[in-house]
Chain A
Amino acid sequence: MLETDLSLNDMMFLARGAGVTLLITAISVAGGTLLGIIFGVARMNLGRVVSGLLAVILDVFRSVPLLIQLILANAFQAIAGLGLQPFTTACVVLALYTAALCSEIVRGAIGAVPTTTRRASRSLGMTWTQDMTYVVWPMALRVGLPSWIGLVLSVLKDSALVFWLGIIELLRSSQILITRLQEPMTILLIAGAIYFIISFPIARLGGHLERKWREND
């Protein structure tokens, strides 16, 4: 049953696809999280007009399906003559998508820090930045981390959509092998296992931190 025509070369091909998936996810999550934190904090501190405008823009990225965003962005960059590589376009779109979702997590998590706690830290003479750094950030992190982990895992899976731009990531490389070798079961099992192996440590890290923090309560 485990007889297969899958060669070492094919495995390397899959591994390279997994590498692309991992790279796109890492870049998008890093950029998206950074932007998400900036947007989230900005939305809570800027005036109503700017904040409202930002909210609408972020809502667009949150609500339009990723696939449509990818294809449109790729078409626009071609029309505008930006000459971006599909890989770059994919990372930018995924990062903005991540940023939009992350900014909501950030807002919720910061909002969960009691006003009384923040007043206490400001009363001790701490500046806004010190309050954000030493009190709000660590407290908000505990609230927002589970949702953020969920976001990372979903970006990892959603990154498969970038194959529409011709990028050969994990899912696309499995498809190519399936077409050639006609062994869908084996290849999909391997691809699924790779997704799991990438996700597992991320999910576990979240659980580990949550448990560690809960010990203090």
Chain B
Amino acid sequence: MIEVENVHKSFGALEVLKGVTVTVEKGEVLSVIGGSGSGKSTLLTCINGLETIQKGRILVDGTEVHAKTTDLNKLRRHLGIVFQQFNAFPHLTVMENVTLAPRKVLGMGKTEARDIAVQQLENVGLGDKLDVYPGRLSGGQQQRMAIARALAMSPDYMLLDEVTSALDPQLVGEVLDTLKMLADKGMTMIVVTHEMKFARQVSDRVAYFHKGILAEIGPPEQIFDAPQNAETKTFLSSVG
């Protein structure tokens, strides 16, 4: 369970999260939608402790992320994250990208790490790209590799930040299919997305972010068909 309690986050004078509270249960898929700059990415990076927070707290399975005593490196093994921007390790092959953390962080042996990587890469349709360098992959393939890389750590949660937003339209589908497959397997996920159709299909709940505040949260039917909040209505009509 991920518990976000009254979290405030500022970059200098700019307050980006203004008291966000939300709980994600095991097995749940929460989609986060909202305008550019509303703090969606920041929320994800706060959850895995890449960013500090000024107020409130975040608990992952009961461990307080920003407590001084928390071993973030250990906590992050349970939290897979895939970012908006491509971030393959360009000097490593696809296989090496995926096996690096399992080997160095989890201390896995070569064959075991390799087996897991092959399985994860086949799942995302990259079984034939094992020895290719990321520079030779398309954007969609790079994002699928990043998903496989995160999954190879067997995380309990996946945080996905607009993983399709930097992709050409024809490549979006393949990545969304990968995410659907994950949701079907019961992975707990927080998915920041601009793909409303996708959010409606896979989410248990949808959260609408507006200027650092969680303006509305509820089942997809509520958010998309009968939004309660005026801002949500405006946003949804603007994105069509």
* Interface set of A (CB-CB < 8 Å, partner B): 114, 116-117, 119-127, 130, 134-135, 138-139, 142, 213, 216-217
Contacts A116-B83, A125-B77; A217 near B90 (Cβ below 8 A): yes
B91: chain A residues at CB < 8 Å are 138-139, 142, 213, 216
Complex interface bits, B78-103 against A, C-beta within 8 A gives 1, otherwise 0: 01110101011111000000001100
A124: chain B residues at CB < 8 Å are 76, 100-101, 105, 149-150, 153
Question: For residue B85, which residue of chain A has the nearest CB?
Answer: A116
* Interface set of B (CB-CB < 8 Å, partner A): 45, 48, 50, 73-74, 76-77, 79-81, 83, 85, 87-91, 100-101, 104-105, 133, 135, 146, 149-150, 153
A116 to B45, CA, bound (A): 12
Contact present for B90 and A122 (CB under 8 Å): no
Contact present for B146 and A120 (CB under 8 Å): yes
Question: For residue B106, which residue of chain A has the nearest CB?
Answer: A125
Contacts A121-B89, A142-B91; A126 near B135 (Cβ below 8 A): no
A119 to B87, CA, bound (A): 9
Contact present for B89 and A135 (CB under 8 Å): yes
Top 5 nearest A-B pairs by Cβ distance?
Answer: A124-B101, A120-B87, A216-B133, A217-B135, A125-B76
Contacts A139-B90, A139-B91; A125 near B101 (Cβ below 8 A): yes
29 contacts between A and B (CB under 8 A): A116-B87, A117-B87, A117-B88, A117-B89, A117-B90, A119-B50, A119-B83, A119-B87, A120-B83, A123-B50, A123-B79, A123-B150, A124-B105, A125-B76, A125-B105, A125-B153, A126-B73, A126-B100, A126-B101, A130-B105, A134-B100, A135-B100, A138-B91, A139-B89, A142-B91, A213-B91, A216-B90, A216-B135, A217-B133
Q: Give the Cβ gap from A132 to chain B, nearest Cβ, in Å.
A: 12
A114 to B134, CA, bound (A): 15
